[in-house]
Amino acid sequence: MNFTPVPQISSLHPYKPGLPIDELARRYNLDPSKIIKLASNENPLGPSPRAQEVIEKGVQNIHRYPDQHLLIDALSNTYNLHSSNIIIGNGSNDILDLIARVFLGSGFESISSQYAFIVYKIVTQLTGAKNVTVSAKEYGHDLPAMELAINKNTRVIWIANPNNPTGTFVPYQEIRRFLESIPPHIIVVLDEAYFEYLDDDQAIESTKWIQDFNNLIIVRTFSKIYGLAGLRAGYGIGSPQLIELLNRARQPFNMNGLAIEAATAALADTAFKNQSREQNKAGLQMLQQGLAKMGVKYIPSHGNFITVFTEDPMTTYERFLSQGIIVRPVTEYGLTKHLRVSVGTGAENRQFLSTWETLATKLS
């Protein structure tokens, strides 16, 4: 090859997304409308209807550069914070990447948990920094062990709560204690992509904690409960000092105009959010009960997906594909006997369970 990438690129592999519906349709000559995709933790209800409306209207303005203040103001009202506490991104992954680029680089380290969201490793390595992985505790974050992994080079700690792909959740009291005990020059990223799915007795409005911890940044997304994964919209909430530093590295128009308008509308659509949350709760329960009845083990989940044990995940995955159901292998996480399954509609969940039952009988 004639090109030589910077050294950190050599050991990186591209992120593997869930298989798109049309690709499977082509592969098995299936009707795309009959394919069930439970692979990317998308909202099975579709997008918020209010978001769809504003997109239709907003199309006539796409010759204009976007005005990010529409969404920043809506978020600051929602959370009762100043606009200087908020940064928006082209998906929340954009914010994760900004954090890495601003606070990491060659000679520095970040810390994440084994089985935590793989993007933390990717964005860390891209800067030339090293990601230190701390062994999981029951598939989730072991915060005391993560604290012990801190050294003089540590600059960023990534926490996914709930975590993807394991669905594990660390109670907020433990996160709070962790924040109180770590050095204040280390940035703590609390990635709450699934926050809105938490039960009321578990959820704490962690965005209030940015008043107490200048080094805390909360990252949330419009890709999951708001149903806007295809638009790319996410945000970060933190101290003005931290947000100002991130803005230095942000592309001027990182979030597109339609995404800004749709996210603003979706944020106000509490009916859709509540409906999505209730449906997810029922769906998760149906999946957990159905799996348990078949004697299939799984990791109890706090998100909109569930990670299931299977002896030979790639074979199970391929068999599901042949039946028109897309789930997600998670072998690149070191989860070699598992498949991740997103919660679908009631009908999709039933179809998944009955397919599992059929495939299991065929296998035995």
- Which positions touch ligand PLP (CB under 6 A)? 41, 91-93, 117, 160, 164, 191, 193, 221, 223-224, 229, 234
Q: Which is nearer to ligand PLP, 98 or 160 (CB)?
A: 160
Q: Contact at 8 Å (CB) between 99 and 75?
A: no
Q: Which is nearer to ligand PLP, 249 or 294 (CB)?
A: 249
CB of 17 to ligand PLP, least distance (A): 10
Residue with the closest Cβ to ligand PLP?
91
> What CA–CA distance (Å, rounded) separates 287 from 296?
11
> What CA–CA distance (Å, rounded) separates 205 from 259?
24
Q: Which is nearer to ligand PLP, 127 or 221 (CB)?
A: 221
SS (H, E, C) 112-151: EECCCCCHHHHHHHHCCCEEEEECCECCECCHHHHHHCCC
Question: What single letter denotes the amino acid at residue 286?
Answer: M
Encode 273-311: b = buried (16+ Cβ within 10 Å), e = exposed. Answer: beebbebbeebbebbbebbeeeebebbebbbbbbbbebe
Question: What single letter denotes the amino acid at residue 40?
Answer: S
Please enumerate in sequence order all residues whose Cβ is within 8 A of that of 121, keeping only pairs 6 or more positions apart, or say none. Answer: 112, 131, 133
CB of 222 to ligand PLP, least distance (A): 7
CB of 359 to ligand PLP, least distance (A): 27
Cα→Cα distances 140→58, 146, 162, Å: 41, 12, 9
Q: Which is nearer to ligand PLP, 85 or 223 (CB)?
A: 223
Q: Which is nearer to ligand PLP, 160 or 198 (CB)?
A: 160
Q: Which is nearer to ligand PLP, 255 or 265 (CB)?
A: 255
CB of 32 to ligand PLP, least distance (A): 22
Q: Which is nearer to ligand PLP, 301 or 323 (CB)?
A: 301
Transcribe 215-249 into DSSP letters. Answer: TEEEEEESSSTT--TTT--EEEEE-HHHHHHHHHH
CB of 194 to ligand PLP, least distance (A): 7
CB of 90 to ligand PLP, least distance (A): 8
Backbone angles phi, psi at 110, to 5 degrees: -120, 160
CB of 151 to ligand PLP, least distance (A): 25
